[in-house]
Amino acid sequence: MASNANMLAMIMACTLLLTGTTCDAARHLADTTPAAAAPAASAVPGLPAVPTLPAVPTDTVTLLPPMPAVTLPTVPQVALPPMPAIVVPKAVLPPMPKVTMAPMPAIVVPKVTLPPIPNIVVPKVTLPPMPFVPNVNVPMPFAAPPPSA
């Protein structure tokens, strides 16, 4: 079980390393995607106008050069030699030895008789009549109708 846990941890670490290298693609996308136009300030009523930022002089801004295009080399087609035929020799196994078991000794179960179950007599009981409960209409808190709007 410990080796399976180590293998899982190694696979997860490799996956994180492989999926974490998206900086080249993000930079390429940022270089090739035009900037979206900002929505008009009056489009949303009730919000104050956004103040404009002062212009930044271009001599202090250093722009990164665009990423060069990468061409991958072509891989030539390779013909593999045919697989050799594998011949498995016929193996003759010796016959299985006969297994004999010793006879089981006879188990004698003694006869057991249980005493008869006595008859249980349940006396008849008559209950007194239920007292009269008057019907009173008292509203219950959980049964009250919902308040009207």
pLDDT for 69-127, tens place per residue? 888 888 888 888 888 888 888 989 899 888 888 888 888 888 999 899 888 888 898 98
pLDDT for 27-70, tens place per residue? 777 777 777 666 554 556 677 777 787 776 666 667 778 888 88
Task: Indicate the SS3 state at residue 70.
Answer: coil
Q: What is the pLDDT of residue 106?
A: 87
Cα distances (Å, whole numbers) of residue 59 to 55, 62, 65, 91: 12, 8, 15, 86
d(CA 147, CA 72): 74
DSSP characters over 20-43: T--HHHHHHHHHHSPPPPPPPGGG
- In contact, 30 and 67? CB cutoff 8 Å: no
